[in-house]
Structure 1
Amino acid sequence: MKIGISACSNGHLPEWRNQISELEKVLKDMNIETVLSPHIMRTLDEYSGTDKERAEDLMRFYTDDEIDAIYDISGGDLANGVLKYLDYDTIAKADKAFWGYSDLTTVINAIYTMTGKPGVLYQVKNMVWSCGHMQKKRFLDYISGKNNDLFDIKYSFLQGNAMQGVVVGGNIRCFTKLAGTKYWPDMDGKILLLESLGGESGQIGTLFNQLDDIGVFDRISGVLLGTFTNFEKAGLTLSVYDLLKMHVSDTLPMACTRDIGHGHDAKAIIIGKEYFFR
C-alpha cells in the first residue's frame, strides 16, 4: 500500500518535524509506503506554500495511480484556500479517499459536494500522539480487515431516539466557512456532525446562530455532537446542548458521542456516507 501525506492547511512548525518522521516509521512498520507532499513545513508565516501550490500537491496524489489513499496531517485556518484550484472531475474519477480533520472539514465537505465522493474525518497523526498505541492497533486492524473498530462510534441520544441520513459537517468553525459558497452541501435530510477544539459559549453560540440564520436546522434530519474540547474544559454553566436547544425544535433528533473530535483518542467517521443511528 502506498499513501500520500498532504498538508492543505497551515504549515507544520519546525518542532513538529519529528512527528512526521515517527508517523512514516509507524506506517512503514505496517508495510505502508509514504510519499510526502513538498509543502508541509512552514516557510512564510503560517504558509507552507501558496494556496495553488498546496492544491497542486494534492492533485498530484489524485493523479498518481500508485497512491491508494491521501492523508492530510495539517490543521488550522488555510485549507479552504485550495478549493478553487482543485480539479473535481479528476477527483471524482479517482478511486481513493481523502482523510483529514479539523480545518480539513472544508476540503472533505467540498469534495463531497462537488463529486459525491465521501471522505474520512480523522487525523492519522493520532498514531504518534498520546493515545498512539491504541490508535495504531485500531488503524492496523482496519487496514488489515481484522475489524472496523476505528469507525465504531458509540453514541447516546439527547433528543429523540433515531435519525438517518448522510453525514456532513465536522469542525463547526471550519464547516461554516463554506456557507454561501458552491462547496456548501445540500443540507436536506442530512445528519449534521459538529465538533470543535476552540471556543466557549460566545464563539460556539454565534456559530449556532449562523447555522440557524441560513436555515440549516429546518432542513436536516438530525444532529450528532462530537467533543468540544476547550468548551468542556472551561466549566461553563451552559452546555453545548443547552446552546443548541435555543435553535432547534423539540422534534429534531440529536445525539452525542465522545468518539469524534480533537481528542487523541478520537475515532473516524465518513463524511458523505449514510448512517442510521438508533
Structure 2
Amino acid sequence: MKYPNPLRQGSTIAVTAFSSGIAKEHQPRFDLIKQHLESQGFNVVVGGCLYGQLKHVSAPIEQRLEELMAFLLDDEIDAIYPPWGGELAMELLPLIDFAKLEHVRPKWILGFSDISTIAAVFTSKLRWATGHCSNLMDLVPEATDPLTSNTLNHLATPLGESFSQRASGSYASQWPDIANYPASGISPDTSSNWKWLVKPESGLAVEGRLIGGCWDTLLHLFETEYLDLAALSRDYPEGVLLYLENAEMSPTDVSRTLLSMKFKGVFKHINGLLLGRSAVPEPTDEEALTYYDAIQNGLANIGIPVIYDMDIGHLPPNLTLINGALARVKLDETGTIWQALS
C-alpha cells in the first residue's frame, strides 16, 4: 500500500470540486474553513473548479478532469480535498490517466459521499491509501465533536503507526444551516450505537484492509476494473473489510443491490462488511419493507460478519477511515476501530 505523506504544518491542500461545487451563499463558510486551515499551518491552493452547480457539477467535464490531473501530477500538493461530494464523479473515471499516475507521489484524496467514488478507485487501481472522512466544508472551528475535530489529526499519523476511534454515541439528524450560520458545526441529537447484524464465529472483532464509501455509487463499480475486490484480496492475505453507507437508496433498492453483489461474488472476497447509518427515512406504512428488513434478508446468510449503524456517511459525524489501512473493528459494550498505516 502506498501511503501519502502525513498531513502536518507546511502540507499543501488543493481544493477542487470534481463533482458538485459550492454556491455563493456558502462562500463565508468556505472562507472561514480556509482561514482555519491556514491558521493550523497548512497551505491551501484553491482551484478554478469550486463554484457553481450547473447540471449537478461545478464545471464542464474537461475542466474538472484537467484540474484534478494537474493537482495529482503536482508533487508540491499533499492532499486533494473537495468541498463535498455530489452526483457525477463517476464520469471522470474512464478519462483519468492512471498509467501516468503510477509514477507520481501519492496524494491524499479526502472526503465522503461522491468523493469516495474517486477515492476507493485510486486505492483499488493504484494502491494509494485514500481517506473517507468528514468533508472539507465540515471542518469549521465550531465542529467540536471528537470524530470531526480529529479528522486532520488522524491524517497526520506517520507511516508504520496507528490510531483508534470510538463510536460517537449520537448523531445529527439534520445538517446545520450553513448559509445563514456559516460557522455552525453539527448538533448530535439522536442516540446511536454500532450493532452486530451477524457476529463472527468467535470473538467480537473483524480485521482486514479497509475499502469502501458511498453505496449508491460504488454499487456500479464492484468487480469492474475500477473496484476489483478479488485482486485486493489476492494481494493482501490479511483480507479486505468493505464499508458502505446508504445515502439515497430505498429499501427495495438496497435489496436489489445486495442481490447484485451476491451475483457478482463480492462477499466471497471480503472478511466482513461495515455499514454506516442509512440516511433514507423509513416508510410510514407498517407493512412496507424497511432498511433493516433489506439488510437482514440480504446479509444474514452470506457467511461473513456484518456491523451496521456505524459512524459512516450522511448522518454525521464521520469516522476517518483510511482506504488501504489495516483495521481491526471491535464491538462489545461499545464500538472501537483501530487502523495501522502499514
TM-score bucket (shorter structure): 0.7 to 0.9
Confirm or deny that 1:197 pairs with 2:233.
Answer: no
> Using a 3 Å threshold, how does the CA distance of structure 1 residues 179 and 95 change in structure 2: closer, same or farther?
closer
> Using a 3 Å threshold, how does the CA distance of structure 1 residues 116 and 250 change in structure 2: closer, same or farther?
closer
Quote the residue 2:320 is aligned against: 268
Confirm or deny that 1:101 pairs with 2:123.
Answer: no
Distance 1:214 1:261 in 2: 24
Confirm or deny that 1:115 pairs with 2:130.
Answer: no
Confirm or deny that 1:246 pairs with 2:297.
Answer: yes
Distance 2:290 2:260 in 1: 18
Give the conservation status (yes or no) of the 8 Å contact 2:210–2:322.
Answer: yes
Q: Which stretches in structure 1 are left out of the alignment for 5+ residues? A: none
9, 15, 27: which one pairs with 1:17?
27
Give the conservation status (yes or no) of the 8 Å contact 2:229–2:270.
Answer: no
Cα offset, 1:214, TM superposition: 1.7
Larger deviation, residues 212-221 vs 151-160: 151-160
**TM-score (ref. length: structure 2):** 0.71
Identity, % of aligned pairs? 24
Cα offset, 1:201, TM superposition: 1.5
Confirm or deny that 1:168 pairs with 2:198.
Answer: no
165, 186, 200: which one pairs with 1:152?
165
Quote the residue 1:259 is aligned against: 311
> Using a 3 Å threshold, how does the CA distance of structure 1 residues 235 and 11 change in structure 2: closer, same or farther?
farther
Cα deviation 1:99-150 (Å, max 9, x = unaligned): 1211122101211121111210121222139x623366424544666x987x
Q: Pairwise CA RMSD of aligned residues?
A: 2.9
Distance 2:122 2:152 in 1: 26
1:128 match: secondary structure: coil
Give the conservation status (yes or no) of the 8 Å contact 1:171–1:195.
Answer: yes
Quote the residue 2:14 is aligned against: 4
* Letter of the structure 2 residue corresponding to residue 171 of structure 1: C
Cα offset, 1:260, TM superposition: 1.5
Q: How does 1:215-234 map to 2 (within 5 A)?
A: 215-231=265-281
Quote the residue 1:75 is aligned against: 85
Cα offset, 1:253, TM superposition: 0.6
> Using a 3 Å threshold, how does the CA distance of structure 1 residues 136 and 190 change in structure 2: closer, same or farther?
closer
Quote the residue 1:138 is aligned against: 150
Cα offset, 1:240, TM superposition: 3.7
Number of aligned positions between the proteins: 276
24, 39, 43: which one pairs with 1:29?
39
2:208 match: secondary structure: strand
Give the conservation status (yes or no) of the 8 Å contact 1:4–1:70.
Answer: yes
Cα offset, 1:171, TM superposition: 0.9
Cα deviation 1:37-93 (Å, max 9, x = unaligned): 211212633232222321221121122222121112231211011112223244343
Confirm or deny that 1:126 pairs with 2:138.
Answer: yes
Deviation beyond 6 Å, 4+ runs, structure 1: 233-237
Give the conservation status (yes or no) of the 8 Å contact 1:112–1:185.
Answer: no
More helix by share: 1
Distance 1:200 1:43 in 2: 25
Cα offset, 1:156, TM superposition: 4.6
177, 183, 186: which one pairs with 2:226?
183
Larger deviation, residues 214-223 vs 256-265: 256-265
Give the conservation status (yes or no) of the 8 Å contact 1:10–1:48.
Answer: yes
Cα offset, 1:226, TM superposition: 0.9
Distance 1:117 1:157 in 2: 30
Q: Which stretches in structure 2 are left out of the alignment for 5+ residues? A: 1-10, 168-193, 234-238, 331-342
